[in-house]
């Protein structure tokens, strides 16, 4: 067995060091990884191999990834789709667009293609995403698969600066199936505005704790006084995990360890300007989030920064490239306190 084959087997067994070595080899490692994934059954251990594929998306990997976007093996085709989205390579645009538009493809496959198009970042994807969204939103939301495509296309459009999918997400809040409402609620994290706040207020009062919990981070990410009013009002949620999560996010915004968060908010609120995003008790400073990353004080800041900037923060932090994250965030030149989604400054 070759050294490369050994690394693939070790990564399939969840060996992180082997996975890092495969990622470092780049496109040269992909054929061996693809071979193992293609032969894997639903019960075969594939470990970190899908992660390896998602991390290898340089230009020379794109043709190899494109060969497997319609592979029958689930982990193989989904990881290839995700990698193509991260590639930012125009060669991926048409194949992903065609897969999204293929009504004979599995709904979940089309949803993965939609997500990849959102990450890919080309405006040419807006029209096919909008068409797929309209078709999916017209279907019966009681059919479990269709809401997956609605949320995927709506959020992909939002990444491309088009917030027209908001109404389709709100339409899912009437579905009796709670996981569908929760999925739609989580999608609001890429949207801003008074209508979003109103929808999240409804979600925060949902009978299902999963839906209520999904409402927390979209409110936190906006971080405006109105959002904090809503979070503080729900500190006493009947579900312990939801209440705990709300308290964590309120503290993140207020920058306080106070036990009585309601009292702390009453004291601090006069200094919080309307329509301004807050973190650590002041209008958000985006490089402060990088400092939190560097200090390791708040692991979830990785997802927060990616949602705000659209940068591959998760990959850079995995490689301990903090300085690059700092440089890339600084290059965006985002003003303090701005409401930002996927690198775009939004109006409140």
The pLDDT, as a whole number, for residue 296 is 86
Alpha helices in 102-235 (DSSP H): 107-120, 126-137, 145-159, 166-171, 178-187, 194-204, 209-222, 225-233
3-state secondary structure of 297: coil
pLDDT per residue over 148-182, tens digit each?
999 999 999 999 999 999 999 999 999 999 999 99
User: Is the CB of residue 80 less than 8 Å from the CB of residue 107?
Assistant: no
**Residues near 331 by beta carbon (within 8 Å), at least 6 away in sequence:** none
The pLDDT, as a whole number, for residue 1 is 67
The pLDDT, as a whole number, for residue 228 is 98
CA distance 69 to 278: 41
Helix axes 261-268, 240-254, angle to 10 degrees: 30
The pLDDT, as a whole number, for residue 42 is 76
Supply 318's token pair: 């995995």
pLDDT per residue over 250-274, tens digit each?
999 999 999 999 999 999 999 999 9
pLDDT lower than 50: segments of the chain: none
């Amino acid at each position: 067995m070759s050294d490369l084959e050994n690394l693939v087997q070790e990564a399939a067994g969840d060996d992180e060091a082997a996975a890092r070595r495969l990622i470092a080899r780049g496109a040269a490692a992909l054929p061996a990884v693809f071979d193992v994934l293609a032969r894997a059954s639903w019960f075969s251990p594939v470990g970190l191999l899908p992660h390896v594929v998602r991390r290898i998306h340089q230009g020379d990997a794109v043709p190899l990834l494109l060969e497997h976007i319609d592979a029958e093996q689930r982990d193989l085709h989904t990881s290839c789709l995700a990698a193509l989205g991260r590639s930012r390579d125009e060669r991926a645009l048409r194949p992903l667009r065609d897969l999204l538009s293929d009504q004979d493809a599995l709904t979940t496959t089309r949803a993965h293609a939609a997500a990849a198009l959102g990450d890919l970042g080309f405006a040419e994807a807006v029209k096919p995403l909008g068409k797929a969204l309209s078709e999916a939103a017209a279907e019966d939301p009681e059919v479990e698969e269709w809401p997956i495509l609605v949320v995927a296309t709506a959020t992909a459009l939002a990444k491309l600066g088009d917030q027209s999918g908001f109404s389709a997400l709100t339409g899912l809040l009437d579905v009796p199936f709670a996981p569908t409402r929760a999925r739609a609620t989580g999608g609001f994290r890429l949207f801003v505005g008074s209508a979003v706040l109103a929808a999240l207020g409804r979600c925060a009062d949902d009978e299902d704790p999963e839906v209520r919990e999904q409402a927390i981070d979209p409110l936190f990410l906006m971080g405006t006084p109105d959002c904090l009013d809503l979070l503080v009002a729900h500190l006493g949620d009947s579900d312990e995990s939801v209440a705990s999560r709300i308290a964590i996010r309120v503290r993140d915004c207020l920058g306080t360890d106070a036990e009585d968060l309601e009292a702390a908010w009453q004291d601090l609120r006069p200094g919080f300007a309307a329509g301004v995003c807050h973190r650590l008790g002041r209008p958000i400073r985006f490089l402060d989030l990088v400092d939190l990353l560097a200090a390791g004080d708040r692991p979830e800041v990785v997802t927060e920064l990616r949602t705000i900037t659209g940068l591959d923060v998760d990959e850079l932090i995995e490689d301990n490239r903090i300085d690059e994250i700092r440089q890339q965030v600084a290059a965006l030149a985002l003003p303090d306190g701005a409401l930002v989604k996927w690198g775009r400054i939004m109006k409140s």
